Structure 1
Amino acid sequence: MSAFQEKHWYHLFSNKARVLYPSSDPAHDYLHIMRVVSTAKQLCQAEHARWEIVMPAAFFHDYINVPKNDPRRPYASKLSAEAAIEYLKSVQYPEQYFDDIRHAIESHSYSAGIKPETLEARIVQDADRLDSLGAIGIARCFAVTTQLSRPFYAEEDPWAETRELDDKSYGIDHFFSKLFKLVDHLNTPTAKKEGEHRVAFIRTYLDQIKREI
């Protein structure tokens, strides 16, 4: 992809994303998409992957956003992949990339449980998962907690010392039940290194919460 072509598609996709992703969901809004695209580009360069596949997949991995508490959630990535391909057809994006773009979108989701089989799919998955970690990951976690009308922590046992973790009821539980485990499921060496750094930041943050509550 030439620099001119990249600029054209990036501009087109970013304009589409600005309309597509609502600001009412700060965990999955336009800013989330742009962070994933930025991280995906860094990973793409470090791991020598094909940006022609990674870029559109990163922009449109959440094309159809199904709420986390919706029973259709496991199918969201497949719905997004089909919608994204239809859009790419409408703007005449090169068809030779469609199968790999579809797979990258379908396999990015934790809920879908689809293993990424290509380097590009692994990069899109890594970029999306990294946005669940670190400082921005903390903000996103509590944004979702608030959307679902759940308290930040359990009053009697905030750290689940005498109860089972329950991230469907308490925000902080989500760090332990899912987010800390993500770093073990990152695919590329570059993402793993960044993931470890971001997890360390979250642990420091939680140590501060312990002192405050």
Structure 2
Amino acid sequence: MSLESWQSRFEHWLHQSWPQDDKAHDVAHLKRVWYTARRIMRDTDANPLVVLTACYFHDVVNLPKNHPERHLASSKAAVETRRILQHEFPDFPTALYDAVAHAVQAHSFSAGITPQTLEAKIVQDADRLESLGAIGLARVFYTSGALGRPLFDSSDPLGKERELDDSRWTLDHFQKKLFTLPDTMQTPEGKRLAQHNSHFLVTFVAKLCAELQGDLCQLDESVLRDFTPRALKY
């Protein structure tokens, strides 16, 4: 069966059987992760069916960012993915179960699991790239809005005189996680894309900080100076 046929079947099942109110982790997100993974996978020996399947089921168990078991979500998703493949897609090759499950389990940032296979590295990179660039910017504010978090601490937006806390302030998440993502990428193409898209986020923060100081036309040069080297060190 072709990859396109598997993709169509997976999407049909998800639309019919996967109730998901989190629009930052919906079927459109899964599809984008697959397209990014497909780009990263070019000219590699990765098994495309493993990558495709892990991309489409990596969030099949998706706990809210503030859930106490958030770090266990990807392990639960790996177990659920096996169950779904066994019962809903009995013609899926059983020999690929372990590889798919590992890629699903290792994708999560909060789980802190090191990917051991090329397929898992590709899926992890592709999913993390969804947190960068324009899509990442939209998703972080969507998620924070859903959680009721304020945008930033107006008196100290960059947390220079306080401890960073992204469970309280949305902008803190850029320093706590997003600006660190290029250092975590597992593949050369993933790193290259992360460099480019994290630069976009640094520029956004520089523009935001300038506006908070009353300058609507420039960028805050101190933000570019302090954060661009971190985001573009490769």
Residues 89-132 of structure 1: per-residue CA shift (max 9 Å, x gap): 12121101001001010111111111100000000100000001
Shift of 1:21: 5.3
Query: Does the CA contact (< 8 Å) of 1:47 and 1:190 recur in 2?
Result: no
**What pairs up with 1:37-186 in 2 under 5 angstroms?**
37-90=34-87, 91-92=89-90, 93-186=92-185
**Counterpart Cα distance in 1 of 2:43 and 2:179:** 24
Which residue identity is paired with 1:8? S
Residues 183-208 of structure 1: per-residue CA shift (max 9 Å, x gap): 10000000000000000011111111
Shift of 1:5: 2.2
Query: Does the CA contact (< 8 Å) of 1:133 and 1:179 recur in 2?
Result: yes
Query: Does the CA contact (< 8 Å) of 1:21 and 1:28 recur in 2?
Result: no
Which residue identity is paired with 1:33? L
Match of 1:9 among 6, 9, 16: 6
**Counterpart Cα distance in 2 of 1:42 and 1:50:** 13
Which residue identity is paired with 2:33? V
Could you tell me which residue of structure 2 aligns to residue 36 of structure 1?
33
Query: Does the CA contact (< 8 Å) of 1:107 and 1:115 recur in 2?
Result: yes
**Counterpart Cα distance in 2 of 1:13 and 1:45:** 22
Shift of 1:48: 3.3
Query: Does the CA contact (< 8 Å) of 1:47 and 1:188 recur in 2?
Result: no
Percent of pairs with identical residues: 40
Query: Does the CA contact (< 8 Å) of 1:21 and 1:29 recur in 2?
Result: no
Greater relative contact order: 1 or 2 (C-alpha under 8 angstroms, separation 6 or more)? 1
Bigger-Rg structure (1/2): 2
TM-score (structure 2 length as normaliser): 0.86
Which residue identity is paired with 1:67? P
Which residue identity is paired with 1:128? D
TM-score (structure 1 length as normaliser): 0.94
**Counterpart Cα distance in 2 of 1:210 and 1:115:** 35
Structure 2: which 5+ residue stretches go unaligned? Answer: 213-234
Change (3 A) 1:160 1:46: farther
Secondary structure at the residue paired with 2:9?
helix
**Counterpart Cα distance in 1 of 2:57 and 2:95:** 17
Number of paired residues?
209
**Counterpart Cα distance in 2 of 1:18 and 1:154:** 39
Structure 1: which 5+ residue stretches go unaligned? Answer: none
Secondary structure at the residue paired with 1:27?
helix
Shift of 1:17: 2.7
Secondary structure at the residue paired with 2:151?
coil
